[in-house]
Amino acid sequence: MPLPERRYVITFGCPDRTGIVARISSFLAEHGGWIVEAAYHTDPATNWFFTRQEVRADSLPFDVEELRTRFAEVARELGAHPGSWRVADSGERRRVVILVSKEGHCLYDLLGRVASHELDVDVAAVIGNHADLAGITRAHGIPFHHLPFPANDPEGKAAAFAQLRQLVDGHRPHAVVLARFMQILPPELCAAWAGRALNIHHSFLPSFVGARPYHQARSRGVKLVGATCHYVTADLDQGPIVEQDVIRVDHTDSVNDMVRKGRDIEKVVLSRGLRWHLEDRVLVHGNQTVIF
């Protein structure tokens, strides 16, 4: 599969008014920018405007830094604040750190996608609070760190989280993926990785928050089970939802059957969410997401 040509991706939000599209597209047009993909959205409830534009890098007469500098001017004009826009460069390879525990289905799935170049990213490291998944990780040529989180030992746990942060931040990852990592991140880590930490929760949120969602689902007698990929925030399982999906179950399905069927959904939901995040397709707005 040939790599697509290098692109700059502008994601942008500002209060809605007339002329925004004209201003941005004229800015690009006057420099010869070739827009490969463009999407717009306005949220009437909050009167907020969103756009994402993919521009061929070789169509512009300057580099990404110059594009950022010049676009900052346009953004200022349109009333955007510095945190509400970004210019990404597809030429910069995406780095991902994956956090795991014992359950391997999401990790196996991600590693398979990376190995077959479907997800064209660098997995900088896999970090597990158990060592079960060290073998498969290293078979893919990826470093695995075993970092135990002692139960009933708040100080030990805090130390482990500090070490986790150091390990992760050393890679400056574009995404920290909690691939069925069973530890709840402390608020300071949620804050440090805000907008970059993606969790897969094994239920169709807001149903069945917290532990053992398949047991909760079985006990409520639902006819579908699901999975939710969301950004991690300090409120457990309450962060902005990136993607969800469901699969049908029935009375013949034990909790174990639900777990098995649900895994297929967890895997695709997490990989879709991660892909969209890494392609700068996800714009967070309050507790909601716009997916371009």
Nearest CB to a copy of itself, comparing residues 113 and 157: 113
CB of 118 to a copy of itself, least distance (A): 6
The single residue of 237, 245, 257, 280 carrying the catalytic annotation is 237
CB of 25 to a copy of itself, least distance (A): 4
Active site residue 237: yes
Question: Do strands 122-128 and 95-100 pair parallel, antiparallel, or not at all (unpaired)?
Answer: parallel
Nearest CB to a copy of itself, comparing residues 38 and 184: 38
CB of 39 to a copy of itself, least distance (A): 7
Nearest CB to a copy of itself, comparing residues 51 and 129: 51
Q: What are phi and psi of 140, to 5 degrees?
A: -90, 5
The per-residue b/e assignment along 223-261, b for 16 or more CB within 10 angstroms, e otherwise, is eebbbbbbbbbeeebebbbbbbbbbebeeebeeeebbeb
CB of 195 to a copy of itself, least distance (A): 15
- Cβ atoms of 149 and 129 within 8 Å: the answer is yes
Nearest CB to a copy of itself, comparing residues 140 and 157: 140
CB of 80 to a copy of itself, least distance (A): 17
CB of 169 to a copy of itself, least distance (A): 28
Nearest CB to a copy of itself, comparing residues 169 and 245: 245
Nearest CB to a copy of itself, comparing residues 33 and 128: 33
Secondary structure (DSSP) of the chain: -PPPPPEEEEEEEEE--TTHHHHHHHHHHHTT--EEEEEEEEETTTTEEEEEEEEEGGGSSS-HHHHHHHHHHHHHHTT--GGGEEEEETTSPPEEEEEE-S--HHHHHHHHHHHTTSS--EEEEEEESSSTTHHHHHHTT--EEE----TT-HHHHHHHHHHHHHHHHTT--SEEEESS--SPPPHHHHHHTTTTEEEEESS-TTTT-SS-HHHHHHHHT-SEEEEEEEE--SSTT-SPEEEEEEEE--TT--HHHHHHHHHHHHHHHHHHHHHHHHTT-EEEETTEEEE-
- Residues recognised as catalytic: 237
